[in-house]
Chains A and B, each alone.
Chain A
Amino acid sequence: MADDQDALNKIRQGGQLRVEGVSQLYHGYSRRFLAYFVKHRVSREHAEDLVQDVFVSVVRHAQDFRGETRIDAWMWAIVRNSLIDFFRRARPEDPFDEDDLIAVAEAQPGSQRDAGAGLEDCVRRAYAAFTEAHRDRAEVLQRVAFEDWSIADVAAMLKRTPGATREYLSQCRKKLRAFLEPCRDYLAG
């Protein structure tokens, strides 16, 4: 986080320092942003363009960032909005679920019903199916699980209030539990 702040400060300075700051953030995050877009089934070519758009937006709005959240949460909000805008432009006629970032027409009901052999195997399959059906929710849970994100950080990414974010996370758990149903006996055992 200190590195991110250092990079953002450089970007705000302009000139050669801006180049250095952009380079720092780009090398730190571009691959992950690309992976995010590709996971959401954006073509490789468009995904690379979207990564560029994200960093241009970071530079454009660097002065607006007030430090209410982590810088990476702020950037992930830009990433997510870029994806939403991309989907809306690609298929303006399709209804769109912003919670899951999939067109309603594309949503598939969970089909994982085979419990597999043992708890680990069952939960692995369940999580895989959940990720397929709710890619964006899985991304958010990843941030919570491995990157120490708070409710405020998730709220910044989703552009929601803390209360609405808690509800969103509660829904994430509820949807995941639907996929974990076949694993109930293993979990209870």
Chain B
Amino acid sequence: MHMPDRDDQDWMDALAGNTPAGADPLTIREAKAVRQAMLERREREAAPEFDAESGLQRLLFRLRKERLDGARGAHRYVALALAATIVLAVGLLLFLPKPGDEERPVFRGAEGPQILFADDPVKARDELKHDLEALGLAPRITPQEDATLVEAPWPERVEERHRALLERHYLRPPESRTLSVEVRKRP
């Protein structure tokens, strides 16, 4: 079996741009010539065209979908949440209105805004606003310290054009009747 030796190490060092003392001159010459060829090729090879921003939004959407967004406190307070759920369930059983009673109210949990990162947040905000208006949804724009909040009422009956808007802007369907999006400058 071929054993790596000092000459191989010298060759690697020279490939990395160094000149190891005591190395065989032919080894150095070869490594430097290869390094030059590598450098030229590296400079010539253009990276593929790539819309990083769209890719990032897709990724963030997928992380949320797979519950890998690490929503704060979600995993730390599981036991507390479970205990609270049990208490709530017992309470409901004890105090549930009987059939025929008035319809009880449904409480929806508060949902934070979705985050949309953009190289040009003004343009992203305007595009989202335009698309919402085109669907007859009146968006409300609220400037914040380092973001812009875009909110719009979300219909109960969601049609294909609403789903298309969400997909276009890499947003998830809101859990409530309000679409809430924070547009931020990409870090």
Enumerate chain A interface residues (CB-CB to B < 8 A).
11, 13-16, 18-20, 22-24, 26-27, 30-32, 34-35, 38, 44, 48, 51-52, 55-56, 59-60, 119-120, 123-124, 126-128, 131, 141-142, 144-146, 148, 166-167, 169-171, 173-174, 176-177, 180, 183, 187-188
Contacts and interface: CB of A to CB of B under 8 A. Distances in A.
Contact of A170 (B2, B56, B60, B62): B2
Q: Give the top 3 A-B pairs by smallest Cβ distance, nearest first.
A: A14-B70, A170-B4, A15-B72
26 contacts: A11-B70, A13-B70, A14-B70, A14-B71, A14-B72, A22-B59, A23-B187, A24-B187, A26-B52, A26-B56, A27-B52, A31-B47, A31-B48, A34-B48, A52-B62, A55-B59, A56-B59, A56-B66, A120-B37, A123-B33, A145-B16, A148-B16, A166-B4, A167-B1, A183-B33, A187-B33
B186 interface: yes
B48 A142 contact: no
B68 interface: yes
Contacts of B29: 187
Contact of B15 (A119, A141, A174): A141
Given A22-B59, A144-B15, A166-B4, A176 B34 contact: yes
Contacts of B155: none
Given A123-B37, A148-B16, A174-B2, A15 B52 contact: no
B36 interface: yes
A31 B50 contact: yes
A15 B48 contact: no
Nearest to B54: A48
Nearest to B37: A127
B26 A187 contact: yes
Contacts of B187: 20, 23-24
B98 interface: no
Interface of B: 1-5, 8, 11-12, 15-17, 26, 29-30, 33-42, 45, 47-48, 50, 52, 55-56, 58-60, 62-63, 66, 68-72, 74, 115, 117, 186-187
A35 B41 CA distance: 14
B117 A127 contact: no
Contact of B12 (A22, A126, A144): A144
Contact of B8 (A48, A55, A146, A169): A169
Contacts of B48: 31, 34-35, 38, 44
Contacts of B16: 144-146, 148
Contacts of A30: 50, 52, 55-56
Given A19-B115, A51-B55, A59 B36 contact: no
A176 B11 CA distance: 12
A59 B63 contact: yes
Contacts of B59: 22, 26, 52, 55-56
B69 A173 contact: no
A27 B36 contact: no
Contacts of A35: 45, 47-48
Nearest to A21: B187
B38 A32 contact: no
| Most chain B beta-carbon contacts within 10 A, residue among A18, A145, A167 | A145
A27 B37 contact: no
